[in-house]
Amino acid sequence: MMEDSFLLAAIIVSIYGLVVLLRLFLGPTPGDRVVAVDTLNTFVVAVMLLLGAAFKRTIYLDIATVYALLSYIGTLYIARYLEGGFKR
């Protein structure tokens, strides 16, 4: 019963991710696209955590942690690039 609730929540978060994909492709500014990618990465981490809880596998939790850290670093680099911070 509890596993079904986690799977349903993962499906709902995945559907929200599809809505965010619209903002990613239709975003009028690069900033909107960066926020959409960051939101999508957050949804991916949430789905990994929900699936890890549903299947009782701790490896999903470890992967979600590493993915979240790499996503954060990637977002910082993209934001710095958009600000023009990599010029010499």
- pLDDT 10s digits, 14-71: 899 999 999 999 988 888 999 999 999 999 999 999 999 889 999 999 999 999 999 9
Domain-located, residue 33: yes
Q: Is residue 9 domain-resident?
A: yes
In which domain, by residue range, is 50 found? 2-83
Q: How many domains does the chain have?
A: 1
Q: What is the pTM of this model?
A: 0.83
Residue pair 37/20 in contact (Cβ under 8 Å)? The answer is no
- Residue 88 belongs to some domain of the structure: no
Whether 41 is in a domain gets the answer yes
Whether the Cβ atoms of residue 67 and residue 26 lie closer than 8 Å to each other: no
